[in-house]
Amino acid sequence: MAATTAGRAATTAHRLAQGRISARVVAEVLGLWRSLDPLRLTDPGWSAQVLAALARHREDSAALATRYYRDFRRAEAPAAAPLPPRPAPAGTSAPWRNRAATSLRVTGTRTVARLILGGLAPEAALDRAGPGVAAASSRHVLESGRAVVQTSLRADPAARGWLRVTDGDPCAFCAMLASRGAFGTPVLYRSERSATTTAATGEEYHDGCGCQAEPVFGRVVLPEASQRFAALWETSTEGLSGKAARNAFRRAHAAAHRG
């Protein structure tokens, strides 16, 4: 958690703004998806249209993250030397397009084909697959902003690492990662018992994930939600390790959410 009020506000505003970009992507991709003919879903046609939309939104996500990093750093590390100039993020470079095209093929074309083969009517198959296509699209857009924060951190001598900040309703996987503390090289801080779980880079973001990274410039303080997740991890996984611990935490997290 940021040390300053301005830093905390910047993180929250950034997470919400990236969430709004994600919502726009989902709406746009679903609109496009619904206009397709399920029986003529050849990859190049529809996925080229989606990729063009993603390229635009990726620029927005990256620009937002660039501003966030600058504002957050100004609030949290006012005495730090100015950032060295960085090349503009490559929003339209090939590697992300290849990864996104693969995601679209798996969540889109292949899923629809599988559902139709399984007996679903073509229109129903299209409806069923849509949310998956939209969630994958959103991840490939948010990746652009997340990459800006990570590259900025790595190039910034004043940055010590980063924390995972969840949205208001994270899944158990994200809650677990967030509870582990701050990531950095060396590892900055781990909540006591979470330190015994399998090491992860903390940079995993699934389709539909609303998490963002918050840079750490000073002392590490877990966000309140992450402190709760860490406490829940300690009570729910007592005496357990590995997969059994993760399953116990998942059940406890689900129960806490229902309650």
Nearer to Zn ion, 127 or 167 (CB): 167
Nearer to Zn ion, 153 or 209 (CB): 209
Exactly one of 134, 172, 209, 245 binds Zn ion (CB under 5 A); that residue is 209
- Name which of residues 40 to 69 contact Zn ion (CB under 5 A): none
163 counts as binding Zn ion under rule CB under 5 A: no
CB atoms < 10 A from the CB of 89, how many?
Answer: 20
Shortest distance (Å) from residue 198 CB to Zn ion: 17
The bridge status of strand 189-190 relative to strand 181-183 is antiparallel
Shortest distance (Å) from residue 139 CB to Zn ion: 10
How many angstroms separate the most distant Cα atoms in the chain?
64
Kindly indicate which of the ranges 72-80, 99-107, 141-149, 209-217 contains the residues binding Zn ion, using the contact rule CB under 5 A.
209-217
CB-nearest residue to Zn ion: 174
What's the per-residue H, E or C state across the chain? CCCCHHHHHHHHHHHHHHHHHHHHHHHHHHHHHHCCCHHHCCHHHHHHHHHHHHHHHHHHHHHHHHHHHHHHHHHHCCCCCCCCCCCCCCCCCHHHHHHHHHHHHHHHHHHHHHHHHCCCCHHHHHHHHHHHHHHHHHHHHHHHHHHHHHHHHHHCCCCCEEEEECCCCCCHHHHHHHHCEEECCCCCEECCHHHHCCCCCCCCCCCCCCCEEEEECCCCCCCHHHHHHHHHHHHHCCCCCHHHHHHHHHHHHHHHHHC
Kindly indicate which of the ranges 113-121, 142-150, 151-159, 201-209 contains the residues binding Zn ion, using the contact rule CB under 5 A.
201-209
Shortest distance (Å) from residue 142 CB to Zn ion: 10
# residues contacting Zn ion (CB under 5 A): 3
211 counts as binding Zn ion under rule CB under 5 A: yes
Shortest distance (Å) from residue 212 CB to Zn ion: 9
Nearer to Zn ion, 22 or 47 (CB): 22
Q: How far apart are CA 226 and CA 119, in angstroms?
A: 44
Nearer to Zn ion, 220 or 225 (CB): 225
Nearer to Zn ion, 209 or 230 (CB): 209
Tell me if 132 sits within 8 A of 27, measured CB to CB.
no
176 counts as binding Zn ion under rule CB under 5 A: no
Exactly one of 174, 175, 213, 245 binds Zn ion (CB under 5 A); that residue is 174
Shortest distance (Å) from residue 116 CB to Zn ion: 32
Nearer to Zn ion, 19 or 122 (CB): 19
Nearer to Zn ion, 176 or 209 (CB): 209
| Contacts with Zn ion, residue ranges (CB under 5 A) | 174, 209, 211
